[in-house]
């Protein structure tokens, strides 16, 4: 028992926990540690973040900023996709969505349909996943060109594997827009906004609930390998929508692509 007057009793101040200096780590271990340190409020914060909805990226700062900056751009992209997935309202246990059996993408030039692509049989895309259709590039070539590793939630199709040169999809030359139709010929999404007449723009959708034909629904950047974000995309609206999430007129024709997001 401590005796004496209050002013004679030494104050006891709890010590602050020691935080070691940030260390270089893998993308997976960084994402796991970052998400655990942010629980339980991260999901509400991300799902309501206007920056996340408008740019498709989470800003990482504070204690984790240095460790994040030390990672490669490919590792950072993997982390962004992992963190954005945590903020989505997808049913990850639901069976994948079958986009074959007559699902069709249609390309328009100045409003006139010029090209179509029927999605191959057996194309199953998980909820929260993406379907990428490229003009003429293997998956390995595509990943190398864009400097990104596609996640396991991405289904990749090289149209040149099944199409003759004249009908490969897409063929973006300027003033092009796209539509997606289901096997009953019902319009699911589109028409999207059109590429400028000179092309060479990459469009990224803000979310599937935003009108496909409205310029405000897309983030437009000059096409480059660095500016494209294949395999990552908008937060889910929670309504199980299927929509165009990115359209890229690449600087090299074979790497042009359209991307579909399955909520």
State which residues form the domain around 146. 97-262
- Same domain, yes or no, for 228 and 159? yes
Residue 199 in domain: yes
Instruction: Look at the alpha carbons of 5, 6, 10, 14 in this order and tell me if their dihedral is positive or negative.
Output: positive
| Overall average pLDDT of the 22-49 stretch | 42
| Overall average pLDDT of the 207-235 stretch | 94
The rounded distance, in Å, linking the Cα atoms of 155 and 167 is 21
- Same domain, yes or no, for 68 and 117? no
| Overall average pLDDT of the 205-224 stretch | 96
Residue 206 in domain: yes
| Overall average pLDDT of the 216-221 stretch | 96
| Overall average pLDDT of the 218-234 stretch | 94
- Same domain, yes or no, for 229 and 144? yes
- Same domain, yes or no, for 139 and 45? no
Nearest to 120 by CA among 163, 151, 154: 163
The rounded distance, in Å, linking the Cα atoms of 133 and 105 is 10
Query: Which range has the worst mean pLDDT, 234-238, 241-245, 255-259?
Result: 234-238
The rounded distance, in Å, linking the Cα atoms of 192 and 39 is 37
- Same domain, yes or no, for 175 and 241? yes
Residue 18 in domain: no
- Given a cut of 80, whether residue 8 has pLDDT beyond it is no
**b (16+ CB within 10 A) / e for 67-100:** bbeebeeebbbbbbbbbbbebbebeeeeeebebe
The last residue of a domain, from among 64, 86, 108: 86
The last residue of a domain, from among 35, 67, 86: 86
Q: Check: pTM over 0.75? Answer yes or no.
A: no
- Same domain, yes or no, for 129 and 201? yes
Number of domains in the chain: 2
Confidence of residue 69 (pLDDT cuts 50, 70, 90): confident
- Same domain, yes or no, for 41 and 62? yes
- Same domain, yes or no, for 239 and 123? yes
Residue 9 in domain: no
Residue 151 CB-half CA count within 13 A: 23
Given its phi and psi angles, is residue 28 left (phi above 0), alpha (psi -120 to 50 degrees) or beta? alpha
| Overall average pLDDT of the 113-129 stretch | 96
- Same domain, yes or no, for 49 and 162? no
Residue 16 in domain: no
The rounded distance, in Å, linking the Cα atoms of 258 and 132 is 6
Residue 20 in domain: no
- Same domain, yes or no, for 103 and 44? no
The token pair at 187 is: 């319009």
Burial of 221 (0-12, 13-18, 19+ CB in 10 A): middle
- Same domain, yes or no, for 41 and 141? no
Burial of 143 (0-12, 13-18, 19+ CB in 10 A): middle
- Same domain, yes or no, for 128 and 241? yes
Angle in degrees, 0-180, between the axes of helices 73-86 and 27-38, rounded to the nearest 10: 40
| Overall average pLDDT of the 219-246 stretch | 93
Residue 154 in domain: yes
Residue 139 in domain: yes
| Overall average pLDDT of the 81-102 stretch | 72
Of the chain, the percentage scoring pLDDT greater than 90 comes to: 61
The token pair at 15 is: 């010590």
């Amino acid at each position: 028992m401590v005796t004496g007057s209050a002013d004679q009793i030494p104050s006891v101040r709890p010590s602050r926990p020691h935080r070691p200096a940030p260390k270089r780590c893998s993308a997976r271990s960084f994402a796991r540690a970052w998400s655990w340190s942010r629980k339980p409020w991260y999901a509400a914060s991300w799902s309501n973040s206007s920056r996340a909805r408008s740019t498709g990226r989470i800003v990482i700062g504070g204690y984790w900023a240095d460790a994040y900056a030390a990672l490669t751009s490919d590792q950072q992209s993997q982390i962004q996709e992992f963190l954005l997935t945590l903020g989505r309202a997808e049913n990850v246990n639901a069976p994948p969505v079958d986009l074959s059996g007559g699902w069709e993408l249609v390309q328009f030039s100045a409003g006139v349909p010029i090209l179509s692509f029927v999605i191959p049989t057996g194309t199953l895309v998980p909820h929260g996943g993406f379907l990428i259709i490229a003009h003429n590039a293997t998956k390995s070539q595509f990943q190398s060109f864009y400097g990104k590793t596609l996640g396991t939630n991405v289904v990749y199709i090289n149209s040149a594997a099944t199409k003759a040169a004249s009908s490969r999809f897409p063929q973006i030359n300027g003033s092009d827009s796209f539509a997606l139709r289901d096997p009953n010929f019902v319009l699911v999404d589109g028409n999207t906004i059109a590429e400028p007449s000179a092309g060479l723009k990459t469009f990224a959708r803000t979310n599937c609930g935003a009108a496909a034909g409205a310029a405000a629904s897309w983030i437009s950047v000059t096409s480059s390998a660095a500016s494209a974000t294949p395999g990552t995309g908008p937060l889910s609206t929670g309504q199980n929508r299927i929509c165009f999430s990115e359209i890229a007129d690449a600087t090299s024709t074979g790497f042009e692509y359209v991307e579909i997001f399955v909520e």
